[in-house]
Amino acid sequence: MAIEKNKTIGNSSAKKSSSSNFSTHELLGKLLVLVTPFLFLLVWYIVAAGTTPLILPSPVDVLIRLVSYFANGRIFPHLFMTTQEILAGFVLGGVLGLGFGTLISESEIARKLIMPYIIVTQALPKFALAPMLVIWFGFGM
């Protein structure tokens, strides 16, 4: 019985120390999430100060230009087109995914024909597929 009590005490003290370490780790993680954007902007500002604005504009210049695009309405047609393309891609992907998924689950022949292509597209990095997709579909809708 004494051994069981010691085990319990040992485990509870170990749990307390690990939980306090976890909360410290969690706090550092949250702090890192808050600090990272500011560090990114600081590094961007420092690097931009040493280069020409044509190559890398400063964050302040980008913010000023972005505000002016919103103020004069120049950005809204682009936002509308981008939103339209995102929604069209989402719907097309959902319909094709549902269709192919149903076909693959119901037909052994379809599974053997389609699965190798699905596996290849999942194995390739998306950056490698992007140029081919741009060549096939072009820019814009």
**Domain extents in the chain:** 1-74, 76-141
pLDDT tens, residue by residue, 23-54: 888 888 889 999 999 999 999 999 999 999 99
C-alpha span between 70 and 76 (Å, rounded): 7
Q: How far is CA 134 from CA 67, 69, 137, in A?
A: 30, 27, 5
C-alpha span between 70 and 116 (Å, rounded): 46
C-alpha span between 94 and 100 (Å, rounded): 10
Predicted pLDDT at 111: 95
Between 37 and 3, name the one with better pLDDT.
Answer: 37
- pTM of the full structure: 0.59
Q: Which of 89, 117, 91 is nearest to 103 (CA)?
A: 117
Q: Which residues neighbour 120 within 8 Å (Cβ) at sequence distance 6 or greater?
A: none
Indicate if the pLDDT at residue 99 is higher than 90.
Answer: yes
| Secondary structure (DSSP) of 3-58 | HHHHHHHHHHHHHHHHHHHHHHHHHHHHHHHHHHHHHHHHHHHHHHHTS-TTTS--
